[in-house]
């Protein structure tokens, strides 16, 4: 005779073996492990970068639903950026060695991602002093603190396995920031400023009024 099920939901069921439901074990709690890695913080109000400990929650629930995907790592950016990595104001940029494709520079494995609070630029915040000193240019696009996290791309997602960043990775970041600034500067130089369009519009209107008066007279 088998052991009697102790689950309360099964006690009210008929004693007939045919009507007795199988006694499945309760679902295990959704527990995530946490790892700590070295990241690079580029402070907005300091001259030198700092190596910081970044806590990352590791999720593995995607393995069953998406075969071939590895663990998902979610870095805790709140202590450094003031917002989480899932916040709409956080921008994630891959930095990968090798061929350049538009504004994104692909550099092979491993790759580094940059998280920053993009909305700070709109709020009139000063430029990131650390980046300005490292690159030697007016890095006006980068405002607020910038966090660099390194990870091996062992799955098709940006948040693959995270690893410790080192001094050698800092040179990659400086090169990337410099190249990105030059690419954006070249792109901006090709655009006609809004003020120019306004002036051209006023000139066109003045010419039209003058011609209209001449024709009317």
Q: What is the pLDDT of residues 151-196, one digit of tens each?
A: 765 543 455 678 888 888 888 788 777 776 555 555 554 555 666 6
> What CA–CA distance (Å, rounded) separates 119 from 25?
48
User: What percent of the chain lies above the pLDDT cut of 90?
Assistant: 6
Residue listed under structure tokens 């890095």: 139
Q: Strand pairing of 50-59 and 72-75? A: antiparallel
46 assigned to some structural domain:
yes
208 assigned to some structural domain:
no
Its domain, for residue 56, covers 31-191
Q: What is the pLDDT of residue 46?
A: 93
Neighbours of 103 (CB within 10 A): 11
pLDDT-derived band at 135, boundaries 50, 70, 90:
confident
Going by C-alpha positions, the residue among 70, 81, 82, 77 that lies closest to residue 37 is 77
**Which of 26-30, 100-104, 140-144 is most confident?**
140-144
Q: Please tell me the least confidently modeled range out of 2-16, 110-124, 141-155, 176-190.
A: 2-16
pLDDT-derived band at 64, boundaries 50, 70, 90:
low
Q: What is the pLDDT of residue 51?
A: 95
26 assigned to some structural domain:
no
56 assigned to some structural domain:
yes
109 assigned to some structural domain:
yes
DSSP-derived letter for residue 127 is B
Q: Average pLDDT over the chain, rounded to whole?
A: 67
Q: Is the pLDDT of residue 34 over 70?
A: yes
Give the pLDDT mean for 73-92: 77
11 assigned to some structural domain:
no
201 assigned to some structural domain:
no
Going by C-alpha positions, the residue among 50, 113, 110 that lies closest to residue 79 is 50
> What CA–CA distance (Å, rounded) separates 120 from 61?
34
100 assigned to some structural domain:
yes
Who has greater pLDDT, 39 or 91? 39
Number of domains in the chain: 1
Going by C-alpha positions, the residue among 181, 148, 161 that lies closest to residue 109 is 161
């Amino acid at each position: 005779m088998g052991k009697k099920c102790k689950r309360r939901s099964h006690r009210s069921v008929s004693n007939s073996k045919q009507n007795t439901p199988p006694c499945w074990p309760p679902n295990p709690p959704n527990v995530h492990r946490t790892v700590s890695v070295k990241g690079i913080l580029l402070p907005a109000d300091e001259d030198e970068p700092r190596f910081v400990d970044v806590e990352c929650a590791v999720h593995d629930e995607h393995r069953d639903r998406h075969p071939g995907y590895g663990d998902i790592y979610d870095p805790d950016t709140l202590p450094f950026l003031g917002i989480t990595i899932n916040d709409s104001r956080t921008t994630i940029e891959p930095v990968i060695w090798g061929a350049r494709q538009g504004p994104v520079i692909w550099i092979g494995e491993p790759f580094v991602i940059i998280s920053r609070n993009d909305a700070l630029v709109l709020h009139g915040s000063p430029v990131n002093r650390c980046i300005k000193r490292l690159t030697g240019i007016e890095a006006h696009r980068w405002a607020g603190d910038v966090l660099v996290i390194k990870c091996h791309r062992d799955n098709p997602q940006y948040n693959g396995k995270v690893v410790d960043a080192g001094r050698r990775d800092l040179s990659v970041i400086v090169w990337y920031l410099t190249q990105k600034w030059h690419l954006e500067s070249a792109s901006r130089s090709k655009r006609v400023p809004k003020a120019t369009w306004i002036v051209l519009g006023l000139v066109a209107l003045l010419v039209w009024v003058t011609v209209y008066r001449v024709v009317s007279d």
